[in-house]
Amino acid sequence: MSTKQIAKRKICNLFGSFIPRVPPLGKKRLANVPPSDYSKMVLNQAKVKSVLSGDSLVLSSIENPDRERAFCPWLIALGKVIQFQVLYQIPNTKREYGLVFLNDGTKLPEEMIKEGWIKLREDAGRKEDSELALQQLDTLRYYEATARIMTLVAGIRAPATERVNPSNGQVASAEPFGNEARHFVEERLLQRNVKLHILGLSPQNQLIASVIHPKGTIAKFILEAGLARCTDFHSTLLGSDMATLRAAEKRAQHAKLGLFKDHVVKNNGSGGSLEAGVEKRINISSIRGPRPTEPSESPFRDEAKEFLRKRLIGKHVRISIDGSRPGSEDYDAKEVATVTFNDKNIAPNYDDLLAAQEKAKEEKKGMWSGKASKAKQYLDASETVQKAKLHVGALQRQKKVPAIVDFVKGGGRFVVLVPRIQQKRANPLAKKHMISLHEDYHKRDVEIDVYNTDKVGGFIGELYINKESFGKILVEEGYATVHQHSAEQSGNSKELLAAEKRAKDARKGIWADWDPSVDEEEEEYEATHVNDDAAPIKREKDYRDVVVTNINEDGKLKLQIIGTGTSALETLMTQFKSFHLNPSNSAGLPGPPKAGDYVAAKFTEDGQWYRARIRANDRTAKEAEVVYIDYGNSEKIPWARLRPLSQPQFSTQKLRPQAVDAILTLLQFPTNKDYLDEAIDFITHNTAGRALSQGLADSINNDVVAAGLSMVPTKLKGWEKGFADVIKSLTQSQTQARQNRQGMWEYGDAYED
């Protein structure tokens, strides 16, 4: 084959792949070419790339255009004055190689590699080059590595593949389906042209982008194959597109593909049930309230609580348990659930929640405002009588004041929150009634009408539920009796007495065993003893053998009355100790304790287990203040040292609490703390480990007064006046202590003004 034929063959190879159709003839004909020769000619199309001379052209194919960004390097240097330096020449081709510098001193190869327009040759560095050339090569490699950037596919997280640790050369095995996920992506994207939609940066400053294949985003397809999971952190970047990825993931879960081969599909129509009247604590899925330990969030805890209270308290909702987290040393066990009210999820899907959070951040609302805020501080207006008297006037003038029931203390007493006011504690009622009150009125919006204060600082008044007097409801249901004095003060005594009569007639509540004849006898007695309040009440002496088990800081005692109860307690404690020494009975409480719960508690001093009751609970420190119900002492202990008291053989129904409250009658202890502590030490020293008789003659009461550590009260109760002989003996001892300047009398008269 001749050289001309070889050249023709090369030209055909060059253009044969893009031969176009021959345009129709007849409009323009080539000169000197007969029409019969057109059928023998092949007419091609091309683009003139360069003109070498008057008779030489460089053509390029219009079917195969220049590579993408190939023209960018031309733009940076085309038509500009440059500097160049020849480094070496290839003898055979006479082609020279060197460096090109722009006018600002920038090296053209470095600039083009930085911009990602060109890349290093694969054989670069294989020859034995000079040290200067190797340094230049290292610089170019650095720029090329910088131009290539790690990009994260937005919305998904795939399992890790097999990889080598560069520090020690050890091979880390792939996570399940990690290699399959990599193969899936390589098969569809490697050496393909794709589009990137840059969305943002990861915490490690890696690009996060949607990788768009001609058929769509690759994230959707890899999720449908079950080879990746949705990542919540990208939800705010993707916005509404995240819903498409969630749907793709859900399809893979239902088909049990790849990572979801063991997935259990959640049944929204679960047939689970909850016993009526049982209280259950849950957390709403996907959201977390303001943290108490975070200064920027804690001030908004009350607002978040109030926001939820107004929308849900007292409403019927549908609960769907989404999962649970077992308890640990630092966290309580809890269940997370979706709460639906009126067929509307109060916490929508996670992506919408994230979008709402980002919007709140942008608008600087609530905890995202950046403004310093303080948590709400509630003033306990009924803490003391003096405080109560300061506020009662304002409450009386306002009449019906909007309030919120914060806690149910008893059938007739509530802790309510009103603007800048809070209240305190009272006596308990029947358990069934307490539960009913808690469910019906806890956290409800109410109105209060305050009339006065009691002797301990509590406010006396009326509480209205939906414009109806709660006192009337309480009396009418047989859960309370009418207090004549306060009823007359409120002005609605007739209404309350009528309600009480209806409850009596219907034998409701406390009137279930009511005997009308008893009321008649009491009325006759009161009629004949109207003015007998000042008269002393005659009482028979009643001596009992007791053991003082504890003395409180205010001088009040805890006693055990010696008898069948203490004998039964000894037997119970022997069984109780054996029970808790058994490792199979070492389970802790199933959840956080509540005030009023009976538990088994491990006493700090001797490490033994005793029956106890929760007096107060600190959820932050995970500590509880317990009272040992058989001995009367109390202490704060961590939750880890508490166990349930659910065994019937140790319950309070089997053996009631043996510690009994008592006071040393006809004594008034000093208010000075030093003298009070000295009095308590004196009583402790004279009662510790001794069996005593509970009476008034030859008593410890007299010894305390004789030591100058207590005084006889100047105002006596009615029943105390029946012990004139004892009072006379105590007064003589007190007179002697004053003359001898003993104890509280050391500086003379110790009576308060």
* pLDDT over 70 (residue 15): no
Split at pLDDT 50, 70, 90, the class of 329 is low
Q: What is the pLDDT of residue 205?
A: 81
How far apart are alpha carbons 260 and 249 in whole angstroms?
Answer: 9
Q: What mean pLDDT do residues 519-523 have? A: 52
Burial class (CB in 10 A: 0-12, 13-18, 19+), 166: exposed
- Angstrom CA distances, 584 to 544, 571, 579, 581, 587, stand at 41, 21, 9, 9, 8
Please tell me the predicted confidence (pLDDT) of residue 414: 77
> Counting beta carbons within 10 angstroms of the beta carbon of residue 658, is it exposed (0 to 12), middle (13 to 18) or buried (19 or more)?
buried
Looking at per-residue pLDDT, the higher value among 669 and 542 belongs to 669
- Per-residue pLDDT of 641-697, as tens digits, reads 999 998 989 988 888 898 888 888 888 888 888 888 888 888 888 877 666 665 545
Residue with tokens 């994260």: 152
Domain coordinates of the chain in residue numbers? 172-260, 283-325+334-368, 544-556+663-752, 582-657
pLDDT confidence band for 614 (50 / 70 / 90): very high
Band of pLDDT at residue 21, cut at 50, 70 and 90: very low
Q: How many CA atoms within 13 Å lie on the side-chain side of 656?
A: 6
Q: Write out pLDDT tens, residues 574-598.
A: 999 999 999 899 888 988 898 888 9
What CA–CA distances, in Å, run from 659 to 652, 655, 698?
Answer: 12, 12, 24
d(CA 385, CA 480): 25
DSSP-derived secondary structure for 689-718: T-EEE-SSTT-HHHHHHHTTS-B--SS--T
Judge if 544-556+663-752 and 582-657 fold alike in CATH terms: no
Q: Report residue 4's pLDDT band, with 50, 70 and 90 as the boundaries.
A: very low
| Most confidently modeled range among 74-88, 169-183, 312-326 | 169-183
- What is d(CA 695, CA 334) in angstroms, rounded to the nearest whole number? 53
Q: Which is higher by pLDDT, 456 or 364?
A: 364
Cα 6 from Cα 117, distance rounded (Å): 35
pLDDT in tens, 457-492: 777 788 888 878 888 888 888 888 887 766 776 677
Looking at residue 524, its amino acid is: E
CATH of domain 172-260: 2.40.50.90
Confidence tier at 541 by pLDDT (50, 70, 90):
low
Which of 31-35, 51-55, 172-176, 609-613 has the weakest average pLDDT? 31-35
Alpha carbon distance 88, 96 (integer Å): 6
Task: Compute CA 241 distance to the chain's CA centroid, rounded to the nearest angstrom.
Answer: 29
Q: What is the pLDDT of residue 714?
A: 79
pLDDT at 738: 85
- What is residue 230's predicted lDDT score, i.e. its pLDDT? 87
- Residues 386-421 have pLDDT tens digits of 677 767 777 776 667 778 777 776 666 777 877 554
The secondary structure of the chain in percent helix, strand, coil, rounded to multiples of 5, reads 35, 20, 45
pLDDT of 17: 38
Phi-psi region of 169 (alpha: psi -120 to 50; beta: other; left: phi over 0): left
Q: Is the dihedral of CA 5, 10, 14, 18 positive or negative?
A: positive
Q: What is the pLDDT of residues 710-747, one digit of tens each?
A: 888 877 776 677 778 888 888 888 888 888 888 888 87
Q: Which of 128, 74, 127 is nearest to 100 (CA)?
A: 74
Residue range 582-657 forms a domain whose CATH class is: mainly beta
What percent of the chain shows pLDDT beyond 90?
6
> DSSP class of residue 642?
E
Domain 544-556+663-752 classified CATH 2.40.50.90?
yes
Looking at residue 533, its pLDDT comes to 46
Residues 495-501, mean pLDDT to the nearest whole number: 85
pLDDT tens sequence across 338-350:
777 776 665 556 6
Inter-CA distances, 107 with 117, 121, 632, 679, Å = 14, 17, 89, 95
Question: What is the percent of the chain with per-residue pLDDT over 70, rounded to a whole number?
Answer: 72
744 burial class (0-12, 13-18, 19+ CB within 10 angstroms)?
A: buried
Backbone angles phi, psi at 309, to 5 degrees: -60, -45
Find out whether 192 and 185 touch, Cβ atoms under 8 Å.
Answer: no
Query: SS3 of 397, please?
Result: helix
Does the structure show a pLDDT above 80 at 221?
yes
Mean residue pLDDT of the chain comes to 75
